[in-house]
Amino acid sequence: MIKIVKNIAFVGLFVGLSLAGLAQFPGAKPTPGDTLKSIRISADKKVTLSIYAPKASEVTVSGDFLQSYGGQKLQKDELGIWSITVGPVAPDLYTYDFSVDGIKVIDPKNIQVKEGAGGYSNLMEVPGKEADYLAVKNVPHGNLEKVWFQAGSLGKTSRVHIYTPPGYEKIKEKLPVLYLQHGGGDNDASWATAGRTNFILDNLLAEGKMKPMIVVMPFGNPGGGFFSGAGVDADPYYSYFFKDLVPYVESHYNVGTSRENRAYAGLSMGGLQALNMGIFYPEKFAYVLPLSTGFFPDNLKSLEEKYAVNLKNPEINKLKLFWIAMGGEKDIAYKNGENTKALFDKFGIKYQTNNYPAGHTFITWRHNLVEFAPILFR
């Protein structure tokens, strides 16, 4: 018997720290870190980040709230508190990581995190009108579940995050499904944490801007690596997806099973998987949406040489939407994306483009979701 565990996610997804674990031990000597507020945001949107590390020699912070990649150094005061002030920072949700003497450290004063394959990063929300799209509002909320199921093609259990819209239990008609894939270095929880998928969709539904749908956020590295080569045979993901994941979803949830009821979107590595879905499995979907991605030059050449017959498949142009989005020229996948579109042009593959110039970050991908969710399943 397969045991399925479902955990409902409420306001945010947090590290499982108990309040008791945060309290001082009886008799412990108070420190400046006890009352430290690690995130301070001024009225002019300047952000100050702090961490108590009195014995450290160097502390840096990195994150997508900074104007450049790499860490920036914090300054230490006489109490052993390290701080940095940056900005102004535009209202939105950001990730950040402290590094203390070269070791990544989670902010002990902030339990809001992004989960990824390599561990956790902290999340920081800068409030303001521009961040309204991801805010937790007084609207009907759907459920966000963590589900474990047996994946026969892998010979082990697999975890997936699944969003069901508000009132799902009372909806009688079959709902469409969006499969939403993470990127390299992330996992099935990343769209739910840094992506704020459930809150974004709750808000869009409350505004009447999109159709109710189920969103499935799977783990994209069942083979344990980043498969970027041409073709799909070497990556066990596609066998897992069609033999295990889709049958599980369609047998346990109230969803339509035709191509018109399926969409696939993915970012970066997941965007490569989206491209492959569009090229090798176009008959399975009505909507394919690669985000911040493109084939590397050698793989693009192999794709043209070995899989020209697939590129010429007329089913590709039967997709209702092939939507290729980028994060502007500073997106690290920008050039690969341009080269991939040039190959599509050569083979007469029709697509639409979108650009949100926030680079290769979840800022871009959240805004992508805001833009494409309302045009699905119309």
Peptide bond into 88 cis (omega under 30): yes
Residues 228-252, mean pLDDT to the nearest whole number = 92
Distance from the first to the final alpha carbon of the chain: 39
Average per-residue pLDDT for the chain: 91
* pLDDT (0 to 100) of residue 336: 97
Provide CB contacts within 8 A for 372, sequence distance 6+. Answer: 265, 289, 323, 325, 354
- For 249-300, the pLDDT digits (tens) are 999 999 999 999 999 999 999 999 999 999 999 999 999 999 999 999 999 9
Residues 144-154, mean pLDDT to the nearest whole number = 93
> What is the rounded distance in angstroms from the CA atom of residue 107 to the CA atom of residue 99?
10
Query: Looking at the predicted structure, is the pLDDT value of residue 2 above 60?
Result: no
pTM for this prediction:
0.90
> What is the rounded distance in angstroms from the CA atom of residue 158 to the CA atom of residue 84?
40
The domains found in the chain, sorted by start residue, are 23-110 (2.60.40.10), 134-375 (3.40.50.1820)
**CA-to-CA separations, 175 to 92, 224, 277, 283, 311, in angstroms, rounded:** 30, 32, 21, 19, 30
Provide CB contacts within 8 A for 156, sequence distance 6+. Answer: 150
**DSSP assigned state of 192:** H
Query: Looking at the predicted structure, is the pLDDT value of residue 22 above 70?
Result: no
> What is the rounded distance in angstroms from the CA atom of residue 221 to the CA atom of residue 249?
19
* pLDDT (0 to 100) of residue 230: 82
